[in-house]
Chains A and B, each alone.
Chain A
Amino acid sequence: MLNFVSPRLALSYLLLCTFSCIGVLQLQAARQRLDGLSLWGGQGARWWGYIVGLSLIFGSFAAFYTLAPNLFVPGLAGSELVILFTAGFALALVITLAAASLAAPRPTEAAMEANEGKAVAAPQLGGWVYAPQGSGPFPALCLVPEIGSPAADLGIVAAQLRDMGFVTLSIDWTAEGDFPRYPDVLALVPSGVRYLLQRPEVDRRRIGVVGFGLGGDLTLRAVGADEQIAVAVAVDPYLSSEPCDPGLDLLRQRSLWQAVRWKRKHKAQSSMAKQLNGLAFLSQILPRPLLILHSPQHSLSGLPNEVETRSLPDDHREGLPWRQNVARVIGRWCEEHL
């Protein structure tokens, strides 16, 4: 029978378990870079996680031994300890996941404006354009973000490519509302290319398309169908890979809420990757220059020899478009081939 000795002792032990479990979660969030388990959404220095984690663990034990009543007389039974620890752990998990979700950073349009992008004012096309100073003519790149992701994801990449001398258009799917459907999605890259061709400072013979994730699959498909596009870059495309379930890894750089949305989106993306079937369009792109940047874990076999493939930089994280070194690789390759 459970009687928990006294409500005060039971509550004290529950609080010990809750706070010490939060402490352990903070240590692991800092050590394993699990932003979705960090009380402040992984923002700020990692050593804060160690300090807060250790403080919570030692502080809760000290408080328990100082404040809890009658610790050295017959106390809680084993089964009661197990129940209270489980409840404390569950409470700690809920508190941590909720705090991380509230604190998680959200990319906003302000981020795009901070990178000096200008909103595109064209019918049936949402996005942001970044133009270098001067009258040109400049080569131009149409950036296609992961389908279903906002253009803000590519703000840093677009600004960096602009600084390297490219007029850069970052297409925004989310301007149209929900997750785009096939085949409607096929119209987006041609719209972007048409927009770039109308701009006076753009060199019409030097236009490229750079796609990220499923946007990479769409890039292969669109460039295969349009001979005006001179080069194509696909960054970590799906290429018909099967959907996966990364589990805890999703809490790296994501809150729980964002992870739930990612998973839902990923299923739809995997299904669209099959419909886009980017691999089938490689032969129509060649002999134009084509670069595929892929994850080290994503083996690319059976590609034609003319396709240039490179492994993504080692230190990249899932928030790929944010990584400036990816932009550098793309910019240098385009300077060479465009």
Chain B
Amino acid sequence: MPPRPRHIFCAGRICAAAAAAIALCACGPSRTPADIAAEKGILLIGNAADPATLDPALATGFGEFKILSGLFEGLVGANPETLEPEPAAAKSWEILDGGKKYVFHMDERAKWSDGSRVEAGDFVFAWRRALLPQIGCEYASLFAPIKNAEKIRSGEEKDVSKLGARAEGAGTLVVELERPAPHFLSMLCHSAFFPLHRKSLEKFGAQSARKSEWTRPGNMVSNGPFKLAAWSINDRVSLRRNPHYRAPERLFLNGADFFPISNINTEDRAFRTGRLHITESVSPARIGYTRKNFPQCLRSHPWLGVYYYLANSARPPLDNPLVRKALAMAIDRRAIIDGILKGGQAPALSFVPPGCGGYSLPEKSKMREDIALARRLLAEAGYPGGKGLGKIPITYNTSEQHKPIAEAVANMWRENLGVDAELYNLSWPAYLAARRSGDFAVARSSWVADFAAPESFLGVFASSSGLNHGKFSDPEYDKLLEEAAETPDKSARNAKLAEAEARLLGEAAMIPIYFYSRVYLISPRVLGWEANALDFHNFLGVKFAPPEK
């Protein structure tokens, strides 16, 4: 018998070596990074998008707002439980001249992270900067209620000092409005209204310099509960306690780390393996499992946002309101929520989410789901059984959720109305370009409130709005919005806004699909992270429960 060839590689040895290597490399932490961070008072947060900027005037994304809410503080804050305005950098305020003048008294304790005092002039500096055309603040339209803000923004008024906001000494800020704006205090929580530390900003560029390094760690001076400790693109943003924060008795955390985890499955795994305390979202496929096995970690609550299909009112055949209404009525919204989203969203039969700033729309004014009526309307429009209508293109930007929703809607239109739809998936810039140029018939859209008031939603469809890409135009609708803006009484104002929304829905300027909910995972150890309709968190009152023994 020939000698058995001696194998150079022995399977047993390889396995043993691999096991040894794993044992050597794996430190086998008994405590997870989330446990260690909790002991240090550091909150680990999943933040879907990588922040493109930490300049409050330039931030546009929800992920950026979350970070900025820890770094800066406006004149007025929002109570995380009730969203009611509460003192922040201003300790008190007076509303004069029938709501046309606001006088804010600065809190002497409010300090920048370098120890210097937050002064009224810091707000004036920041607000004037946000209105400069060179800065290009996307939220500059929020300043519209302030005297001369629109003129400065449009370039009609070149002198920014004409803005109706002036500092009277370090401790008083006087703001004059064009007309009473009942939601003005709520708006002041928005990051566009945050103050800026003039000295540190000008060290790295002029007031009008959009691209500047003042937002880097070590350069940035902020006035919020935290200061910027580290920012590595595509890795994390680390905030640490601002030692000069005005209300240390309400701040229990020592910091917060934000991780830009774009993939929801990666984020889910990170949470389950103790790398995060709070996630940005949960995969719809995991919601059922989590609800069953870890209900204490799943949080779901309404969020002031609406997902809708924008109809191009300027292009046939959707220039015919009957066609738009028929399409809107033939969608089974509950099926989309239960079959695709699974996150506690609510079917949207109006544009303004329920409970937005105490506003409600009468049931009779809402849209209906009625297939028989939808067919009749389509026939009335001259397209019985969808004949002659041609294919309706649905344009959406790349996303894991937009595609199945578009497929479901297309299927419903085909089955219920005999209308064929074509799906167009575009990258985000191409989608925006298509929307802006009106090169669409139906475009997936969404709107999330900038502040908790119906005006934040209904203003989108004003004829003059730069966001009205569907070119909906109704002089009566515009007039009602104008009248509402002039009405100081809240209930009377809301009645006018409800009338306006009824017209908007009657004309089916858009096809609302669902109202957003925020669905995310949160460690049971995190206390004081309140669920609110704006998902606003200023980190005050948030703390860790002691570990279970």
Tell me if chain B binds chain A.
no
**Interface of B toward A, CB cutoff 8 Å:** none
A residues lining the B interface (CB < 8 Å): none
